[in-house]
Chains A and B, each alone.
Chain A
Amino acid sequence: MSAQLAQYLLSGLTIGAIYALVALGFAIIYNASHVINFAQGEFVMIGGMATVSLANAGLPVLAAIPVAVLAAAAVGLALEKFAVEPARGASVVTLIIITIGASILLRGLATLVWDKNLHALKPFSGDRPIELAGATILPQSLWVLGVTFAIVLALGWFFGRTLTGKAMLATSHNPLAAQLCGVNVRFVLLLSFGLSAALGAVAGILIAPITLTSWDVGVMLGLKGFAAAILGGLGSGAGAVVGGLALGIAESLGAGYLSSAYKDAIAFVIILAVLFFMPSGLFGKKSAERV
């Protein structure tokens, strides 16, 4: 394996892990409520920006991170409570507009609370590159990969082993049946928004030292996370992770070997190509029918 290829794969995996976390957020909310939350990217932004501002205020990063994640989760809960919940039963388009309204609102608030500048977060454990198979990897990338891996394991345990997780899964399959079995569906909805927001915030914090963060960083990350979720098949957790990693690697390889100017377009070209041939994504339930 050439060193260059290894380098592209490593950086692709890093950014892919971030897409995977964002995609997981999309999948969790979609499963609980069938809402595509276009404000998902804003949670990423809130996570990064809150950590930066808390760290600048003198808080140690280790203390700033949980505060930022909790803040994002609180915003997620508020979004569900005050914008999504009152519109229950509305059409898909209406719900999409509501979450888009929320994303504009949150970006606006971010420019008020913080500012419109780019901010850097100090890497968690230095910035001396590590040699690996002829390529170099930043310590921060290892953090991204490690934390993502841990989160995926934790989510697997949560949905497979705990009563709350199983209740969320049950709600995703059939809310009415779940409710009849004693699942508090409203709580599940609320929890899904809180959990997604926290996941997004973690993604935003992990990536902030590598790519900088700012008030509008959530837009592209949100769209690509959505693409990753669709690529894996909407609502599939494993699909979201695979979709995220695949998009990240494809993007990195494409930028390296084809054209770096079109780096941001690659994810969308792939998603269009996949949807043309597999209308439900790679792992999605075959719910779309051909006409």
Chain B
Amino acid sequence: MNLRTPRTGGLALLAAVILFLPLALVNNYWYEVAILVGINAIVCVGLNLLIGYAGQISLGHAGFFGLGAYGSAVLTARYGWPPAAALAATTAGVALLALLVGRPILKLKGHYLAMATLGLGVIISIVVVTEDRLTGGPDGMSVPAFTLFGLALAGERLWYWIVGGVLLAAVWIALNLIESPAGRALRALHGSEVGAQVSGIDATRAKLGIFVISAVFASLAGSMTAHYAGFITPGKVGFFHSIELVTMVVFGGMASTFGAVIGAATLTLLPQLLTVLKEYEMVVFGAVLIATMVFLPRGFLPSLVFILKKKQK
């Protein structure tokens, strides 16, 4: 086992961080922050497969996150489904939706793709806000706790381990996908779509597959958020959350799974730290975003690796 490859070494490091982080989490507030980081990281790991490896931008992933959250919430709270069944049905539904809309959407390129995914996200968020009899509208709705074999899963500490476990699984799946034939095909696509197609890669299928997987990751994260928080509002479904997610991926470094995790952690923590700035929060956040992209256009982790490699030489 080579610990220097991201597949084993990186995964071991991430597991160690998740295992020992509770030593630093002094109270429930920091547990909440850590869970939020984990949930964002799960979405970003999936989104990074799409943006970083398949080279397809999505400005609407908060829509899938929201569908997951509201799917679980509505099915359990309004129709009395068992949470596990609601989770399964919601995830399957989101996967199906991604499959159906992914076909025409992924034919688009560049800014047209950005517009289409953005439109999809905005439509989902408007539906969530408008169908207030089901979703509670702008006020949000409360969600019953997730029960498994009659036991309710509640409390920050328990959810920390659940989210940590799911994150580890998500990273493991992503790392394996990247090294699988499908992952290699995707990287070829990112390099040169025509070249990849000439080499016999079914570009549409490869992109569609990743699109569905990233949507499922987002949906699962949404369902977990709904049950963990016990309450869900449309804010998490909107355009801004989509943008936040893309920003996390790009900030951490595209085409780097651990970069996506670092990006999610940094940009989830930053606003928490910036709250001390009160009314200057938005200004500083915007400025940090611009500065990072200008000075580290590859994103944080790849730039760091680049600098370290240059020093070794």
Contact = CB atoms under 8 A, between A and B. Distances in A.
Interface string A93-131: 110111011111111110110000000000000000000
Nearest to B132: A261
B88 interface: no
B112 A93 contact: no
Nearest to B197: A291
B120 A92 contact: no
Nearest to A263: B126
Contacts of B246: 93, 96-97
A106 B283 CA distance: 7
Interface stretch (A187-195, A205-213, A268-276): A268-276
Given A87-B297, A102-B290, A265 B123 contact: yes
Q: Classify the interface of chain A: helix, strand, loop or mixed.
A: helix
Contacts of A107: 282, 286
Interface residues of B, number: 49
A243 to B, nearest CB: 11
Contacts of A103: 286
Nearest to B115: A230
Interface string B288-308: 111001100100000000000
A237 interface: no
B239 A223 contact: yes
Contacts of A287: 109
Contacts, number: 143
A276 B119 CA distance: 12
A111 B282 contact: yes
B108 A291 contact: no
B293 A101 contact: yes
A147 interface: no
Interface string B179-200: 0000000000000010001000
B127 interface: yes
B287 interface: yes
A58 interface: no
A152 to B, nearest CB: 23
Interface residues of A, number: 49
A268 B57 contact: no
A291 B114 contact: no
A279 interface: yes
A236 B108 CA distance: 18
Interface in A241-268: 261-262, 264-265, 268
Nearest to A284: B112
Nearest to B109: A288
A219 B238 CA distance: 12
B32 interface: no
A234 interface: yes
A210 to B, nearest CB: 22
Contacts of B207: 291
A54 interface: no
A227 interface: yes
Contacts of A230: 111-112, 115
Nearest to A290: B107
B126 A104 contact: no
B126 A264 contact: yes
Contact of B290 (A91, A105, A268): A105
Contacts of A92: 57, 110-111, 114
A30 B111 CA distance: 10
A281 interface: yes
A101 to B, nearest CB: 3
Contacts of A109: 283
Interface of A: 30, 36, 83, 86-87, 90-94, 96-98, 100-109, 111-112, 219, 223, 226-227, 230, 234, 261-262, 264-265, 268-269, 271-272, 275-276, 279-281, 287-291
Leading 3 A-B pairs by shortest Cβ distance: A108-B282, A105-B286, A101-B289
Interface of B: 51, 57, 104-112, 114-116, 118-120, 122-123, 126-127, 130, 193, 197, 203-204, 207, 239, 243, 246-247, 250-251, 254, 279-290, 293-294, 297
13 contacts: A93-B57, A96-B246, A98-B289, A98-B293, A101-B288, A104-B282, A105-B289, A106-B286, A112-B279, A226-B115, A272-B116, A280-B112, A288-B109
